[in-house]
Amino acid sequence: MFQFQHFEHLYALGILPALVVLFIGALYWRKKKISKLGDASLVAEQIRGYIPGRNTLKFILAASALFLMIVGFANLQAGDKAEKVERKGVDVIIALDVSKSMLAKDIQPNRLTRAKQLIMRMTEKMGNDRIALVVFAGKAYLQVPLTIDFSALKMLLQNVSPDMIPTQGTVIGEAIDLSMRSFSQNERKYKSLVVISDGEDHDEKAIEKTREAADAGIVVHTVGVGSPQGTTLYDEQTKALKLDENGNPVVSRLNEDALKSIAAAGHGTYSLLQNTDDVADKITGSLDAMEQKNLGSMLYTEFTSYFQYFLAAGLALLLLEWLIPGARSKTASIIKKTAQ
């Protein structure tokens, strides 16, 4: 089994595409400036030691070195010694509302960000459970199936936004129905659903679907995000207030009554998201109090690290790139003046 000890370092790989774009832009700029001096092949003859593609080769070596060093800092590990351990837990699906009303800022920085923070805190407190993620607005989608790989869920959670679902609305009933189908159908216990939403514009089927979930042995908890007083919404593109058909500002309010009714029908609890740690403790405490099932699996207790090989290869490529001399141009000063 391979894993990265510091998975978060891999986010730095995102700078590589930007460097590629900048390099291609620099090549285009250089070609454009040289073309002002005359025929490109004739100009190339004025460059001592000119080798076609040398700059590209140096860039590839440098970019590859950066890639290897980032992977090295993330520290790829392989499990050497495994022990069979008995893990007990429950299956938990988190249904997250990603409708545009979740961008309201009646709680800072906005409802969706606070909801993500809550999920992060919950995963830190859920040691042995399996977890899945459903996102919903006008439609519901299974984003992450049931897994014990919390790091993968955290990574995907970073990219969750209202833009991923073009159909707007708050179809809590559809999210509950999808969650029911995503659980194991062979068990009537060990299952819990956590719905995180502002409850605004919820569909009428939510209570009906919640009762079906309860009959299937699923405990449904709800978390309200926002404030009952509500706040106005802004259009992310125009940065202007959203207006209704009468020209009045649209106000988005937390619908606590709807979320409380869902929690009651699902034999679960309702929590208002104010203090993230308190709500995370409340929900995970309820999960720990449930009857647990055996999730026995292999646990790796000793790991071998391979970071040194990646770092050594990266340094070797950097050295090779440095040893390749750059061409010296008789026309360098001319090109410089032309660029100015």
* 149 shares a domain with 73: no
* 67 shares a domain with 103: no
Grade residue 330 by pLDDT with cuts at 50, 70 and 90.
Answer: very low
Identify each DSSP E strand in 175-317 by its residue range. 191-197, 218-224, 231-232, 251-252, 270-272, 293-294, 297-305
- Residue 198, classified by CB atoms within 10 Å of its CB into exposed (0-12), middle (13-18) or buried (19+), is buried
Q: Rounded CA gap, 124 and 280, in Å?
A: 9
DSSP letter assigned to residue 234 = B
Mean of pLDDT values over 175-195: 92
* 215 shares a domain with 250: yes
Contact 180, 213 (CB under 8 A): yes
Q: Which two tokens stand for residue 256?
A: 């606590």
Q: Return the pLDDT at 333.
A: 46
Please list, in sequence order, all residues whose beta carbon lies within 8 angstroms of the beta carbon of residue 109, skipping any fewer than 6 positions away: none
Q: Return the pLDDT at 304.
A: 84
Structural domain range at position 12: 2-81+302-339
Contact 250, 243 (CB under 8 A): yes
Percentage of the residues of the chain whose pLDDT score is greater than 70: 84
* 66 shares a domain with 29: yes
Q: What is the largest CA-CA distance in the chain?
A: 83
* 75 shares a domain with 101: no
Tell me: pLDDT of 339 over 80.
Answer: no
Mean of pLDDT values over 195-221: 91
* 200 shares a domain with 62: no
Identify each DSSP E strand in 70-208 by its residue range. 76-85, 88-89, 91-97, 130-136, 140-147, 191-197
Contact 225, 254 (CB under 8 A): yes
Mean of pLDDT values over 98-109: 92
Q: Return the pLDDT at 327.
A: 54
Q: Nearest 5°: phi and psi at 146?
A: -55, 130
User: What is the β-pairing status of strands 88-89 and 293-294?
Assistant: antiparallel
* 101 shares a domain with 130: yes
* 235 shares a domain with 96: yes
Q: Rounded CA gap, 109 and 129, in Å?
A: 29
Instruction: Quote the number of domains for the chain.
Output: 2
Q: Return the pLDDT at 34.
A: 67
Instruction: Supply the CATH number for residue 137's domain.
Output: 3.40.50.410
Contact 131, 89 (CB under 8 A): no
Query: What is residue 251's three-state secondary structure?
Result: strand
Give the tens place of pLDDT for each residue, 211-254.
Answer: 999 999 999 999 999 999 988 877 766 667 777 677 778 788 99
Q: Rounded CA gap, 303 and 305, in Å?
A: 6
How many Cβ atoms sit within 10 Å of the Cβ of residue 147?
A: 13
Q: Rounded CA gap, 54 and 128, in Å?
A: 53
* 270 shares a domain with 244: yes
The model's pTM: 0.64
- Tokens 């499990």 -> residue: 79
* 325 shares a domain with 289: no
Please give the distance of CA 304 from its chain centroid, rounded to a whole number.
Answer: 28
* 99 shares a domain with 244: yes
Average pLDDT, the chain: 85
* 146 shares a domain with 76: no
Grade residue 275 by pLDDT with cuts at 50, 70 and 90.
Answer: very high
